[in-house]
Amino acid sequence: MSPTPFINPTSFQPAKFGTIASLLNLITPVLMIGGGIIFFGMIVYAGFLYINSQGKTENLKKIQQLFIYAIIGFVVILSSFLVIRLLGVIFNLGPLPF
């Protein structure tokens, strides 16, 4: 099998993970930060809608739903963080960076 002409095999870095623990160490913080940014954006958007709703009942119900969904999403993110930490302790994956 000949090497590809675009990738120099002597200088190309292989994947930075060889175990599940190192893969989790790379992916989990990125997902947590992304989830937090989305949560913050949903709260800001719901607040903006609340300010501009002018007291209309139908708009307030939609805004309340948006707040509830944002909080449920945050709870899911937080619980997934705790589950990943628990699995790291159970399977002795070593210290996780978060």
The residue range of the domain holding 58 is 33-90
Whether 18 is in a domain gets the answer no
Q: What is the pLDDT of residues 4-23, one digit of tens each?
A: 666 666 666 666 677 777 77
Classify burial at 63, counting beta carbons within 10 Å of its beta carbon; exposed 0-12, middle 13-18, buried 19 or more: buried
Q: Provide the number of structural domains found in the chain.
A: 1
| Residue, of 78 and 15, whose pLDDT is higher | 78
Whether 27 is in a domain gets the answer no
Whether 11 is in a domain gets the answer no
Whether 26 is in a domain gets the answer no
Whether 6 is in a domain gets the answer no
Whether 9 is in a domain gets the answer no
Q: Is the pTM of this model over 0.75?
A: no
Task: Return the SS3 of 10.
Answer: coil
Q: Answer yes or no: is pLDDT of 72 > 80.
A: yes
Residue 44 exposure: Cα atoms within 13 Å on the Cβ side: 6
Q: What is the pLDDT of residues 45-57, one digit of tens each?
A: 999 999 999 888 8
Q: Answer yes or no: is pLDDT of 94 > 70.
A: no
Task: Give dist(CA 79, CA 72) in Å, integer.
Answer: 10
Q: Answer yes or no: is pLDDT of 43 > 80.
A: yes
Whether 4 is in a domain gets the answer no
